[in-house]
Chain A
Amino acid sequence: VKQEETEQREEKLARLKARVQELRRQRDELRAKVDLQQKGQLGKAGVVSDAAQPSAQAVLEWKIKSVKAMLQVFYLTGISGKLTKQGVCFCISTAYEGTYLDSYYLDLLTKPEVRIHRHSVPTFIPLEQIAKKHLETDIRRFLSVLADHLNAYVGRRHQADQLQEHFSDQIEGTLQRNSLCNLLVFNYNLSSRSKTFPFNARLLYGDLCCSLPTEVTVSCT
């Protein structure tokens, strides 16, 4: 039995060794390929070009990737989407400054009239109100107003998260906020000359389309 065990171990070792060698070979091959590619791009003479005439399939696949990349750029603009059998599915992307945050989907039916089939908009956003006002008359305006609400909500939430994360040593306990993130209450400490002063701050964001507060109350507790 001992003999068998030793044999098994040796077998396993040999297999692992072989695998490592194979992977090293693959890795070195790829590295060389990528290096050649980089040199080719600098336009240096004397570098053998990689491919012969590309196949028709390769050309099509290139074009498909290219169009997909263009569609992804639309994601960065805030409104993207695709056509569906019964209408169109829009994707509203949100961001705070340079950081892209959540995206929300709206599956719209267009016949007999425009209406919302499915969506991923949170319940505390007044979607029905906005739809009632704009959806049938001006889809663009509807999306724009909805995007204002969503971006503002996400902006407020992001700022609250960042505040909690970066000032955790000064904040007492946790930030209190509602789901719409338009009311923020927290206690924090400020130190001056080895004395700490406890403060309480209350931020009210009266404008739902804005990510800055409209009313701030600071008190020393």
Chain B
Amino acid sequence: MENSIFEAYEDEIQSLEEEIKLLAEKYEDSQQESTFFSDEEILMSIKSFQREFWGESKGYESPSDLKALLETLETDLSFLMKFTGIRFTSHSKKTVEKTRNGTVRKHRLSGKCHSLSFQLEFQLLEMQNKDSVSTVITDLSIVMESGEDSDVSKFVSSTEEHRSLLTFFRSLSSYAEWYEHRRCTFLHFK
């Protein structure tokens, strides 16, 4: 009889801890998604962070760690953009729903693949499994610069219907490369 009181308290503790974790993540996500700092602000922060650090050791990250991490990440990103030909010009995401089962986020992405521009809006569902995270596209909308081309518009509507985001990027890559080849070839003959 008394044990059931203990159990009830322990259950509530567990459920509260989970809720707190979710709320904290929600708060963090929201802060991240609604903030924006320009490149100058970031450069200024790097400089002033180094100055601040000599004054008092705040936190566990030294400025050189953070700066080095940022540089590594930016180098990797710049390499990928150069290698794949896909350059993202803007990206924003918003957490639509976050529960124990998973997180739904809405993404807005625009960029260029070689010379072809695209704009995407998609919804992503991420679910935590035992040892992995599963990612599913639950909604996809594509706008392409050369949308008037009937082949392109057929491809776009079929891709949207099946929410095949990966196929979109893979096909776009190869289409854009060949588009470049054709363009260069035509220019050559001019």
Cβ-defined contact, B77 with A70, below 8 A: yes
A97 contacts B by Cβ under 8 Å: yes
A83 contacts B by Cβ under 8 Å: yes
Cβ-defined contact, A82 with B76, below 8 A: yes
Cβ 8 A contact of A13, one of B6, B13, B75, B136: B6
Cβ-defined contact, A95 with B69, below 8 A: no
- A77 CA / B125 CA spacing, docked (Å): 16
Task: Please indicate the chain A residues that have their CB under 8 angstroms from the CB of B19 in the complex.
Answer: 27
Cβ-defined contact, B31 with A60, below 8 A: no
Task: Please indicate the chain B residues that have their CB under 8 angstroms from the CB of A55 in the complex.
Answer: 52
Task: Please indicate the chain A residues that have their CB under 8 angstroms from the CB of B75 in the complex.
Answer: 83
- A73 CA / B9 CA spacing, docked (Å): 42
Cβ-defined contact, B88 with A70, below 8 A: yes
Q: How far is the CB of A5 from chain B (nearest CB, A)?
A: 11
What secondary structure prevails in chain A residues at the interface with B?
Answer: helix
- A31 CA / B165 CA spacing, docked (Å): 35
Cβ 8 A contact of A9, one of B2, B67, B76, B167: B2
B interface footprint on A36-79 (CB within 8 Å = 1, 0 otherwise): 01101100000000000011110111111111111101101111
- A57 CA / B5 CA spacing, docked (Å): 46
Q: How far is the CB of A80 from chain B (nearest CB, A)?
A: 6
Knowing A57-B49, A70-B77, A98-B162 are in contact, say whether A77-B27 is a contact too (CB < 8 A): no
A118 contacts B by Cβ under 8 Å: no
Q: Name which of A56, A66, A67, A70 has the most chain B CB atoms within 10 A of its CB.
A: A56
Task: Please indicate the chain A residues that have their CB under 8 angstroms from the CB of B174 in the complex.
Answer: 144
Interface contacts beyond A57-B49, A79-B80: sample of 16 additional A-B pairs, CB < 8 Å, sorted by A: A23-B16, A34-B26, A37-B31, A57-B45, A59-B41, A60-B70, A62-B35, A63-B45, A64-B69, A67-B77, A70-B88, A76-B165, A78-B169, A97-B164, A98-B163, A144-B170
Return the 7 tightest CB-CB contacts between A and B, nearest first: A98-B163, A98-B137, A56-B49, A59-B45, A95-B166, A77-B169, A56-B45
Interface of A with B (CB < 8 Å)?
Answer: 9, 12-13, 16-17, 19-20, 23-24, 26-27, 30-31, 33-34, 37-38, 40-41, 54-57, 59-71, 73-74, 76-83, 88, 93-95, 97-100, 140, 144, 147, 151
